[in-house]
Amino acid sequence: MKTSIEGFVIDLDGTVYKGSNLINGAAEAVAMLKQLGKRIVFLSNRGNISRKMCHDKLGRLGLDIDEEEILLTSTVTARFLKDYYESSPVWVLGDQGLKDELEAGDILMAERPELAEWLVITLHETLTYEELNDAFRAVRHGARIIATNADKTFPRDDGDSIDVAGMIGAIVSATGREVDIVIGKPSQLMAEAALNVLQLPPERCLVIGDSLESDIRLGKKAGMQTALVLTGSVSMEEAEASHIQPDWIWPSLADVTSILAPAEKGLQR
Amino acid sequence: MKTSIEGFVIDLDGTVYKGSNLINGAAEAVAMLKQLGKRIVFLSNRGNISRKMCHDKLGRLGLDIDEEEILLTSTVTARFLKDYYESSPVWVLGDQGLKDELEAGDILMAERPELAEWLVITLHETLTYEELNDAFRAVRHGARIIATNADKTFPRDDGDSIDVAGMIGAIVSATGREVDIVIGKPSQLMAEAALNVLQLPPERCLVIGDSLESDIRLGKKAGMQTALVLTGSVSMEEAEASHIQPDWIWPSLADVTSILAPAEKGLQR
């Protein structure tokens, strides 16, 4: 069966950039896909930045894309709250970027932790004890917990660093309350949000990412094609040993050309 | 059987004081025990202060005792490391008080997180993300985890606040490594340290505290007599419903007089 791929769901951290550095060939690959008229959405588990911040960063790295082509877990968290809990006040444990994105999504913020019905947790790189304690008090007073994602570690320029799982673990361990919802990949919520941007059936779409657990699993669950890149968290050995098998394994995003030219010869499945 | 109680193992938070306030009658009760020539050790799960800090606080509250009569989990952690891992460099996630106590105990500190063989975790009321990340990196590079205690919450003057369990949860959730040792009550280590100060057989000693899970359990495990006070975390209803039954339940530490005078009549078991 030949399936022409028209939509691309592309991960960011470890696929397009790593820390503050662009991954070799990533900008050219994206520019080429756009030139061919392909539809693209960048789908990231980052929940501590806003789409505006992400768009600015990608612009600095040389990627010319629209803000609407970016979906972060902060974006999808805001939409989820707006769709299902519009009148519920929210407290945030996380960076300003999440607060900005929730504000852009017109989400009701609680005035005090004790008044919150939801606590939203994301990475908080300027976390203080008092902020942790406010979040603790929100949950002790009945707030349910949404996590933008549950990643344990992220690659910072000075090395792997503690991610959202640390912030979640602090609150869950001290309150005894579990997380109600994790928004991030490989959730159905993220897959639906991506397909909604692309406006294509899943089988015409390809997920490209560096994580078997989040990117490839999301693609498989949603019926999309999948390509793992080795520029991030997974080595070839780990990929081959995994029970999750992508349709393709590429050294990097630049290898997306292999399935496009000439005459999309690589698309046979 | 009549057993004369000669040694008193007395909890601090919720038994002698609450936040920065002395519990009514506590200072007089301690003074009276000392006047009767009883041996006393204050045994607290606090690990984020040093004995010197605790001694100063008790002095300000009107308790005239020796620093050697105080045992904190910071004290016992330092002794444990000195006794069993003298040459292992240590990294600390916690308040300055723990660092002071480890220094007083002549413990080897690691120069960088990556060089630590042990991470010691206690409450950290001025926690920052970077400190959390340093602790995360220590464990990622192989450090094992000691927690001074695993309390979920402590009573601060402005309300219940997130305790060591939050700091532990952050590191455990993000690293996937479990805590190797929890020093705090009801551990055998704390009971032994207390009996070592008192120099008495356990059956001649009485543990007085506000926690069934830490104070009363420690006493029962070690063969000491036990008295629960209702000035802290447990109500009479909770005490009566518990599977852990102390020998006595008292409104407060002041009621210790009931088993002493006249002629120690309350001591029949």
B98-125 tens-digit pLDDT: 999 999 999 999 999 999 999 999 999 9
User: Percentage of residues in chain B with pLDDT exceeding 90?
Assistant: 91
In 3D space, the residue among B198, B185, B163 whose CA is nearest the CA of residue B48 turns out to be: B163
Residue B76 contacts residue B189 (beta carbons within 8 Å): yes
Q: Residue A174: which of B132, B140, B165 has the nearest Cβ? A: B165
CA atoms within 13 A on the CB side of A54: 31
The yes-or-no verdict on residue A105 having pLDDT over 70 is yes
pLDDT score recorded for residue A260:
81
CA torsion through residues A9, A14, A16, A17, sign: positive
Residue contact A132–B160, C-beta within 8 A: no
Please write the tens of the pLDDT for every residue from B15-42.
999 988 999 999 999 999 999 999 999 9
Residue B73 contacts residue B190 (beta carbons within 8 Å): yes
CATH topology of domain A7-45+185-267: Rossmann fold (3.40.50)
The yes-or-no verdict on residue B1 having pLDDT over 60 is no
pLDDT score recorded for residue B249:
97
Looking at domain B74-182, its CATH architecture is 3-Layer(aba) Sandwich (3.40)
The nearest CA of chain B is from the CA of A8 a distance in Å of 31
Residue tagged 């008790």 (tokens): B58
Q: For the domain bounded by B7-45+186-267, which CATH number is listed?
A: 3.40.50.1000
Say how far apart CA A47 and CA A148 lie, in whole Å.
Answer: 5
- The bridge status of strand B205-209 relative to strand B181-182 is unpaired
Say how far apart CA B94 and CA B146 lie, in whole Å.
Answer: 12
Structure tokens belonging to residue A136: 């603790």
Cα→Cα distances A74→A51, A121, A122, Å:
8, 10, 8
Residue contact A137–B159, C-beta within 8 A: yes
Say how far apart CA A85 and CA A74 lie, in whole Å.
Answer: 15
Please state which of the ranges A64-68, A149-153, A189-193, B2-6 shows the lowest mean pLDDT.
B2-6
ipTM of the modeled complex: 0.89
CB pairs A-B closer than 8 Å? 95
Contact list in A for residue B152 (CB cut-off 8 A) is 173-176
Closest alpha carbon within chain A to B139? A162
Say how far apart CA B200 and CA B50 lie, in whole Å.
Answer: 25
Output the average pLDDT for chain B: 94
Say how far apart CA B41 and CA B27 lie, in whole Å.
Answer: 14
The residue ranges of every structural domain in chain B are 7-45+186-267, 74-182
Instruction: Tell me if B7-45+186-267 shares its fold with B74-182.
Output: yes
The yes-or-no verdict on residue A8 having pLDDT over 80 is yes
Please write the tens of the pLDDT for every residue from A59-70.
999 999 999 999
Residue contact B171–A169, C-beta within 8 A: yes
Planar angle of CA B122, B128, B132, nearest 5 degrees: 60
Output the average pLDDT for chain A: 94
Say how far apart CA B43 and CA B10 lie, in whole Å.
Answer: 6
Planar angle of CA A260, A264, A267, nearest 5 degrees: 100
Structure tokens belonging to residue B110: 């690691």
Say how far apart CA A224 and CA A3 lie, in whole Å.
Answer: 11
